[in-house]
């Protein structure tokens, strides 16, 4: 039988390391919508996040097939600005704390 205390300590250690790595980071999530085209998602990701055309196409397809996809990870202020700009470009998006 595994040692529960060791497992708990390991989980807490991993959680602490994740907080150290991503503690101030936020996710920019693009969501599928009936009013946004693939081209709008692709152009926005290339302009705002520096995606290549191929990466932007792959992201747009992931948004379409799964309903949403992670577009970027960045500090809170930048993530909120990116979401405002995505929405200005007709792309449905939200910010989530990691």
pLDDT (mean) for 16-44: 86
What's the pTM?
A: 0.76
What pLDDT score does 21 carry? 64
Positive/negative CA dihedral, 75, 81, 86, 90: positive
pLDDT (mean) for 18-44: 88
Of 86 and 23, the structure prediction assigns the larger pLDDT to 86
What pLDDT score does 5 carry? 63
What pLDDT score does 28 carry? 97
pLDDT (mean) for 74-81: 96
Helix (H) or strand (E) holding 94: strand 93-97
């Amino acid at each position: 039988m595994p040692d529960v205390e060791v497992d708990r300590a390991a989980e807490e250690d991993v959680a602490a390391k994740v907080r150290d790595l991503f503690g101030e980071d936020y996710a920019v999530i693009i969501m599928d919508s009936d009013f946004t085209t693939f081209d709008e998602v692709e152009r926005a990701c290339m302009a705002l996040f520096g995606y290549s055309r191929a990466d932007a196409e792959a992201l747009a397809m992931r948004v379409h097939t799964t309903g949403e996809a992670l577009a970027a990870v960045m500090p809170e202020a930048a993530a909120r600005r990116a979401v405002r700009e995505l929405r200005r470009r007709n792309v449905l998006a939200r910010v989530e704390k990691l």
